[in-house]
Chains A and B, each alone.
Chain A
Amino acid sequence: MSADHLERLRREGRIVIVGASLAGLRAAETLRAEGFAGDLTLIGDEPHEPYDRPPLSKSALLGMASPLRTQLPRRREIDAKWRLGVAATGLDLAAKRVRLADGDEVEYDRLLIATGVRARPWFKEEEARLDGVCVLRTREDAADLVRRLRAGPRRVFVIGAGFAGSEVASACRELGLPVSMAERAGAPLVGALGGVIGSVAADLATEHGVDLRTHVTVTALEGDTVGRVRAVHLSDESVVEADVVVVSLGSLRNTEWLTGSGLGAGPRGVACDAGCRAFDFRGIVTDDVFVAGDVARSPHALFGYQFLSLEHWGNAVAQAETAAHNMICDGADRRPHLWMPAFWSSMFGVNIKSVGVPPMGEHLMITQGSLAERRFTGVYGHQGRVVAAVTFDNARWLEFYQRQIERGAPFPVEFPTLDRRPEGRQPVPAGFPDPSLPTHGPMVTLSGYSPADQQLVFHPSRH
């Protein structure tokens, strides 16, 4: 693009951001901060200004925050046109137009796709409609769940023991509610952190009074005569009575609106290059369409340039900033998105943090602390390199391990570390399930090397 053209774009161009949540908002702020003076439009299917989701499964359930009051703070004025409560339904790449559910069309010079993900619903539609069957993704979901929990249900049943499900189970126990949690794998968090750490999570849940059922799937939800859920049927033929069922089976990427657009979009997200530019279905990078946040899948230099799909809060922020920067820059001024994957969770009073890509690790070493004490640092290795780390109540050491990952430090960790226990002298198999088998919602998905993803049927989170 000529310098003139770019200057015109920055001065009077039209930028449209589809998705008005964390990534969309931060991108808008970055555009303005970096001098974009043209027309900015934010399109969001939810009728609310951008709000934060992590508190919905933590503070909100525990009564420390209102689920309807988690709006994100603004870093600056963005002077945008907001089209809230109206979903984008289509994209015409050639005409550079976004179609909206209300029939409107919005033209753009540059487009950012930040449509994120939605909760994967219970797969039997009729059962999903039973009163008391919930998911937890939006603020309305959270408000509904909070109301149901406050009403004092006899038992809550959580389907899927990933992070979100485990956080819900933890909150229920703290509220004094009986809770059961079913997981197809052998323990909670197995998809994200592997079986070794999963067994710690299993012990934590059990000790806190969660009725944890592993190696089972839910086969049916049973309703009563007036359409309220009353029981959960499991693959081991047991039946558990419950009046609230929380379906926590991971998420679906909001890419349906791009079907037929010609973009490389599919169930695993919208593929983009390291500069956040979307690929078309042929694997050719576009120059006017960018992607950021949960819906993006982008190659990462530190992890063999595999495409990563990261449902991480920090990734949404960082990728939005990079995408926005690159949208109004040229060539050498553009930056790659090289964010180190990182996430946190909190359950049963324990703080869990991670950096890198744990599911890439075949082996795990507990370099500090002890699994039995629930206070430790675990390091994941892949082909002789450190690729990830996880801490349970040991967060202040994590940045050291992040630097180890960045440097491609050797694995196993041969050097001594403070608080190394006998159990941490040798690596052990990390215990990730065969990646071709489904588990519940790993928060990082390695999705191979192909930018075109339309034919794939891999559903990491399907129950």
Chain B
Amino acid sequence: MRLVVDLNKCQGYAQCAFLAPDVFAMHGEESLLYDPRPEDEQRERVARAVAACPVQAITADGLDRAGASQEASDVR
């Protein structure tokens, strides 16, 4: 699984850090750090994070279900 966060879009809502804390972490109030190549066991959590991102900033591949969300991540 590979992922990237468009940090121009990211506004630090931290939803991903709630949902997949081993992949996404807030660094201070607003900065996001993440692991671009998380372990496969994180797949479901990453899929949840992709879906929950209020600004649809997370693009990931190799998610079973997240095809839809993946497409969405580049709209607008």
Query: Could you tell me which A residues sit within 8 Å of B by CB distance?
Result: 52, 54-55, 58-59, 62, 64-66, 69-75, 313-314, 317, 342-344, 346, 349-351, 353, 393, 395-396, 398
Contacts and interface: CB of A to CB of B under 8 A. Distances in A.
B34 A75 contact: no
B42 to A, nearest CB: 13
A52 B36 contact: yes
A65 B37 contact: yes
A349 B27 contact: yes
A203 to B, nearest CB: 16
Given A72-B4, A75-B70, A351 B31 contact: yes
A73 B27 contact: no
Given A73-B2, A75-B70, A393 B29 contact: yes
B33 A314 contact: no
27 contacts: A52-B36, A55-B36, A59-B34, A62-B33, A64-B35, A65-B36, A69-B35, A70-B36, A70-B37, A73-B3, A73-B4, A73-B59, A74-B2, A75-B59, A313-B7, A314-B6, A344-B8, A346-B33, A349-B29, A349-B31, A351-B28, A351-B29, A393-B30, A395-B12, A395-B30, A396-B12, A398-B11
Interface residues of B, number: 26
A38 to B, nearest CB: 24
Nearest to B63: A73
Interface in B11-68: 11-12, 25, 27-31, 33-37, 59-62
A73 B36 CA distance: 9
Interface of B: 2-4, 6-8, 10-12, 25, 27-31, 33-37, 59-62, 70, 74
A69 B3 CA distance: 10
B28 A350 contact: yes
A65 B34 contact: yes
Contacts of A395: 10-12, 30
B27 A346 contact: yes
B36 A71 contact: yes
Contact of A313 (B3, B8, B29, B62): B8
Contacts of A65: 33-37
A144 to B, nearest CB: 19
Contacts of B61: 73-75
Contacts of A66: 37
Given A58-B33, A71-B36, 19 more contacts: A52-B36, A62-B27, A62-B33, A64-B25, A64-B34, A65-B35, A66-B37, A69-B35, A71-B37, A73-B60, A73-B61, A73-B62, A75-B61, A313-B8, A314-B6, A344-B7, A393-B30, A395-B12, A396-B12
A122 to B, nearest CB: 29
Given A71-B37, A393-B30, A342 B4 contact: no
A398 B12 CA distance: 12
B28 A342 contact: no
Given A55-B36, A59-B34, A342 B12 contact: no
B38 to A, nearest CB: 9
Contact of A71 (B2, B25, B28, B34): B2
